[in-house]
């Protein structure tokens, strides 16, 4: 399966925008839920769920949402 970075980025953006709330980073349950969704997304696209690019995706989410 060929995966376009733009397609993954768009899906991550939709996932995070749907799941976050103002204090989501201070609530462990909310962070775990988003990590689970991100993990499922990477699995669906056949991407590695440890290391890169998962680590970069998580850092991006924490910084920009």
In the chain, where are the structural domains located?
Answer: 5-64
Q: What are the tens digits of pLDDT across the range 11-61?
A: 999 988 888 888 888 888 888 999 999 999 999 989 999 999 899 999 999
Give the separation between CA 62 and CA 65, rounded to whole angstroms.
6
User: Distances from the Cα of 62 to the Cαs of 1, 31, 45, 46, 65, in angstroms?
Assistant: 28, 9, 21, 23, 6
Q: What does pTM read for this prediction? A: 0.80
Quote the tokens at residue 12.
Answer: 């991550």
The residues, ordered by sequence, that sit 6+ positions from 21 with a Cβ below 8 Å of its Cβ are 30
The per-residue pLDDT for 32 is 92
Alpha helices in the chain (DSSP H): 5-19, 28-45, 54-64
């Amino acid at each position: 399966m060929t995966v376009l970075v733009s397609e993954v980025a768009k899906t991550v953006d939709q996932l995070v925008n749907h799941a976050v709330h103002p204090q989501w980073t201070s609530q462990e349950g909310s962070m775990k839920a988003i990590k689970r969704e991100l993990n499922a997304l990477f699995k669906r696209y056949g991407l590695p769920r440890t290391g890169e690019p998962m680590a970069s995706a998580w850092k991006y989410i924490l910084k920009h949402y």
